[in-house]
Amino acid sequence: MDIEIPTAKSLYIEMFFGDTKLSSGTAILVANNRESHCALVTNRHNVTGRNQETGKCLNKYAAEPDTIAIHFHKNVESFEEVGNEWKVVKLPLFREDKTPYWFEHPELGEKADIVALNLSWGSDISKYPYYLETDLDKVNLVLSPAENVSVIGFPFGLSSHGKLPIWATGFMAQELSLITPENPVFLIDCRTRQGQSGSPVIAFRPSGYRHLKEGKVVSSLSANKAWEFLGVYSGRVNSESDLGKVWHVSAVKELLAVATTDNEKRVAAAAVKKELSESE
């Protein structure tokens, strides 16, 4: 199957209360590089089941999710085989003491509509993360207002084939230079709908693009495809508008650092426990 690499990076997710499906959305995997820790990232309101701004329950029966189902690609030998089979992994969102398994942004906490989950991987899963520190998903594109960007997810739970996402394309609605650490959010103008919450937002260029090189803006005339991971989509500013919020990649990177630190602590604790067990 001939699909673009970013198509494989968006994952269909479903939120459940017990066996009752409450909603669906989109998630991605993120890592700094191929060797570093990989975490699942989606919107906070997907896992809480509550409106991020008002705190109001999104389900008409006031049910909140306690489980998430993630549709991963089954492990395949080559990328050409991606898009044929999926492996559904269903995981609890809360520990026995009712504390959440997800991690929030280290500074903004519940104000940031992004969370990360650390998962254990089996050999039957294929991982296609967005890499934050390699040139695969980051080519230092120079973007201006009105330039095309794409939201790659599952509007209304729909897909293009199997559990492959749909590309919705819109425009940058502001300058990225206006983003601040206190409010790492930017706006896009795109006809998005429910189910696309948690989708990656990328600038995809089939050929030719402007990028930064040694501090200068240069134009590339290469025929090679390039894309830039810009952040995670979290919904429209209101139901009457096509303006949507995107949590910038800088906030995603800070969130990943929290998940990575927790993973390192757990790996170290497991190693100590194993060493003590073997010494007895």
pLDDT for 271 equals: 87
Domain residue extents for the chain: 5-268
Question: What is the pLDDT, as a whole number, of residue 276?
Answer: 82
pLDDT above 70: percentage of residues in the chain = 99
The mean-pLDDT minimum among 167-181, 219-233, 243-257 falls in 219-233
Domain 5-268 CATH (choose: 3.40.50.1820, 2.170.150.20, 2.40.10.10, 1.10.4190.10): 2.40.10.10
pLDDT confidence bin for 208, thresholds 50/70/90:
confident
pLDDT for residue 187:
98
pLDDT at 84: 87
The CA distance from 106 to 53, in Å, is 19
Q: Which of 1-15, 24-38, 128-142, 265-279 has the lowest mean pLDDT?
A: 265-279
Q: Is the pLDDT of residue 217 over 90?
A: no
Mean of all residue pLDDT scores within the chain = 93
Q: Is the pLDDT of residue 280 over 70?
A: no
If one compares 213 and 201, the residue with the highest pLDDT of the two is: 201
Q: Is the model's pLDDT at 96 over the cut of 70?
A: yes
Model pTM score: 0.94
> Is the confidence at residue 12, as pLDDT, over 70?
yes
The predicted pLDDT at position 77 comes to 80
**Quick one: average pLDDT of 226-253?**
96
Distances (CA, A) of 230 to 17, 33, 139, 176: 32, 16, 11, 10
Question: Is the confidence at residue 214, as pLDDT, over 80?
Answer: no
pLDDT of residue 2: 87
Nearest alpha carbon to residue 237 among 179, 178, 173: 173
β-partners of residue 27 are 11
Mean pLDDT confidence for 148-167 = 97
Q: CA-CA distance, 14 to 41, in Å (whole number)?
A: 14
Question: Region 193-221: what's the mean pLDDT?
Answer: 88
Q: How far is CA 122 from CA 126, 131, 170, 233, 251, in A?
A: 9, 20, 36, 28, 28
Lowest-confidence pick of 13-22, 241-250, 252-261, 263-272: 263-272
Q: Which two tokens stand for residue 56?
A: 């109001």
